[in-house]
Structure 1
Amino acid sequence: MNRIEYSAEIADLLGRVRRRPIAGWPWRPGEDVPAGLPVKQSWGWLFAPDGRVLTLVNPRDGIVSLPGGSLEQEDGGDPAAALAREAGEEAQAVIGRPRYLGYLYDRVGSANGGHECARVRMAAALRRVGPSQPDPASGRHYRRLLVAPGLAVELLGWGPQGVSQARAAVAAAVAHLGVPASANETIEELPPAGCVLFG
């Protein structure tokens, strides 16, 4: 087994990671969202050229997330537009065209006022990130880590369903972005000043 490399500072950050309880929303890989089921959220597996994905760590509470969030009026009902906007706001990220992976069926509708809804998952190339700054919507100032997709599932605490999502994301990234099926295992924090990933 390969040794996972990371700095002492990242070790300290990861030592404070706290996982949200698993919601148990059924994962519908490759299925279109049914007509009449509103899409309320869009989250993305954003890939670097070496197969790692962007994860966001809130240093205040240790919660790890993928970039993404709720659809807003300005998104025009388009989950891809919502993901691009949210990635820019949360991680100062510029992404390629997102590819639809499937959706989670939220029967309880906690993101929709108690009415059922869909939470979409997408995959895209992480082209570049700008200088790190707080999310204008929440004020959270995330730490931006590149990690292998399997480790992302572990940090997110998504269990077997998360593994299925990660496999779908990796398959799409290998087929359409040319990333390797086996990602670099190094955990790396993106520089605060920003950087280019896909040229």
Structure 2
Amino acid sequence: MPQLTDQGAIDQAETDGAEAGRAGAAPATPGGRAGTDDRDRAGTWMTPEEYGASRAAVWTAAVVLVTDTDGRILVQSVDYRADRMLPGGAVDAGEAPSAAAARELREELGVDGRYPRGLAVDWIPADTPGFPPEMRFPGEILHVYDGGTWTAERIDAVRLPAQEITGIQFAEPADLPALMDAGDARRALSALRARINGSGTALLEDGRPTAPTALDRLGVLRTRRTPLHGTWHPGPVPAQLPVRDHCGWLFGPDGRVLLLIARATGTAHLPPPTAGPATGAVPLGYRHAAEGEAGAEGEVGAHARTAARLAGLPPAADPAYARLLATPEQVRELSDWGPAGAHELAAVHEARARLSLPRPTRTPPTELPEDGVRW
């Protein structure tokens, strides 16, 4: 930052210099540089007026990321553009960004709330396409706040204004690029990954994290999640019921579980129970959709789940998948499991407690080395 001075300081320096000259010493300028006329001072010296004029002016805005219980993102339609947007808008002069976020949701959706938790701060450059030249867009700092997960009752309480907002919908994260401006979609997905990571506010530049996490690098949620909404049943799969697939909730020593991410699609998968040497394996339960049950498409047969404690991991056998350790909650948030997901998650934590493992703290999922690990 340039060092500031003002005319009073200059006058004082000139007085000090004159006195020093009478005493036989070289005159000094502000900052202690002897023998230099302040009018020829180095370029890092500015008056407050010069410094203020040198600072770039940017716009400021605030939006709120809201999800429903299935992990879909709230976007709204407006009467002045074709693509969808997160709720929010410009920060007024003298207004705090978090206050602007609350005001905008009250004005646009009729919902009162406070949104103190920031998910991301994005720098939108002045040369971003889509702004008319006459607008003289100077660039923008945009804050993304966490609006939390809204229940059906809260969604039903939404009241749209007479103009501007024409509708809302909850969109699958992977559908955002088709619904939104490209930069808006990048920002929303980065903010959602930051929420899942749980490591604090992400810094973005044009929607891209400046310090990408494993979820960012692997592009999770860029492909539609496979819906798995069958009813959760504890215990082993009945003999008469065919098993469609068999996955494992495989715990590391810190209580996190193994998660596979397809590098080509960013899709999250639970691994097979044989992914590594394990102890204490028990049949956790299974998912099954009865005929005619909502979400039964593609769910013929049981989706079996086994819980066990990993003793280690061998070298990666399939380079198409990255191996991560994540909390059970993060696994659920990266999956589309419907209401029964809460029942499966409860069973997972019961199994973790039986295996005498700690409840894990939410941290960004950790990518494991391809040459394996031993615990």
Instruction: Name the TM-score, length of structure 1 as normaliser.
Output: 0.70
1:59-80 Cα offsets, whole Å, 9 max, x none, are 1011100012xxxxxxxxxxxx
Q: Does the residue aligned with 1:169 lie in a helix, a strand or coil? A: helix
Q: Does 1:151 align with 2:335?
A: no
Shift of 1:14: 5.0
Larger Rg: 2
The CA distance in 2 between the partners of 1:115 and 1:129, in whole Å, is: 30
The CA distance in 2 between the partners of 1:22 and 1:123, in whole Å, is: 22
Q: Does 1:100 align with 2:308?
A: no
Shift of 1:125: 0.7
* Aligned-partner residue type, residue 287 of structure 2: L
Q: Does the residue aligned with 1:174 lie in a helix, a strand or coil? A: helix
Q: 2:353 aligns with which of 171, 174, 179?
A: 174
Q: Does the residue aligned with 2:370 lie in a helix, a strand or coil? A: coil
Match of 2:311 in 1: 127
Q: 1:29 aligns with which of 234, 247, 253?
A: 234
The CA distance in 2 between the partners of 1:133 and 1:33, in whole Å, is: 28
CA spacing shift, 1:20–1:145, aligned 2, 3 Å: same
The CA distance in 2 between the partners of 1:117 and 1:132, in whole Å, is: 29
CA spacing shift, 1:41–1:115, aligned 2, 3 Å: closer
Q: 1:56 aligns with which of 260, 265, 273?
A: 260
Match of 2:193 in 1: none
Indicate the larger mover: 14-23 or 182-191. Answer: 14-23
Shift of 1:13: 2.9
CA spacing shift, 1:35–1:193, aligned 2, 3 Å: closer
CA spacing shift, 1:48–1:19, aligned 2, 3 Å: farther
Q: 1:185 aligns with which of 351, 355, 362?
A: 362
Indicate the larger mover: 93-102 or 164-173. Answer: 93-102
Greater relative contact order (Cα < 8 A, sep 6+): 1
Percentage identity across aligned positions?
37
1:137-157 Cα offsets, whole Å, 9 max, x none, are xxx621011011101100123
Match of 1:194 in 2: 372
Shift of 1:26: 1.5
Q: Is the CA contact (8 Å cut-off) linking 1:44 and 1:67 kept in structure 2?
A: yes
Shift of 1:163: 2.6
The CA distance in 1 between the partners of 2:367 and 2:299, in whole Å, is: 38
Structure 2 alignment gaps of length 5 or more: 1-116, 118-196, 203-210, 292-297
The CA distance in 2 between the partners of 1:124 and 1:54, in whole Å, is: 11
Shift of 1:27: 1.2
Q: Does the residue aligned with 2:311 lie in a helix, a strand or coil? A: strand
CA spacing shift, 1:160–1:37, aligned 2, 3 Å: same
Q: Is the CA contact (8 Å cut-off) linking 2:229 and 2:336 kept in structure 1?
A: no
CA spacing shift, 1:115–1:171, aligned 2, 3 Å: closer
Structure 1 alignment gaps of length 5 or more: 69-82, 88-92, 109-113, 135-139
CA spacing shift, 1:67–1:29, aligned 2, 3 Å: same
CA spacing shift, 1:3–1:9, aligned 2, 3 Å: closer
The CA distance in 2 between the partners of 1:115 and 1:48, in whole Å, is: 29
CA spacing shift, 1:3–1:104, aligned 2, 3 Å: closer
Shift of 1:42: 1.2
Indicate the RMSD between aligned Cα atoms, in angstroms.
2.8
CA spacing shift, 1:107–1:127, aligned 2, 3 Å: same
1:9-44 Cα offsets, whole Å, 9 max, x none, are 4142354433423232221123x4334222232111
The CA distance in 1 between the partners of 2:299 and 2:350, in whole Å, is: 32
Shift of 1:128: 0.7
Match of 1:164 in 2: 343
The CA distance in 1 between the partners of 2:198 and 2:220, in whole Å, is: 21
CA spacing shift, 1:141–1:116, aligned 2, 3 Å: closer
Q: Does the residue aligned with 1:44 lie in a helix, a strand or coil? A: strand
CA spacing shift, 1:115–1:157, aligned 2, 3 Å: closer
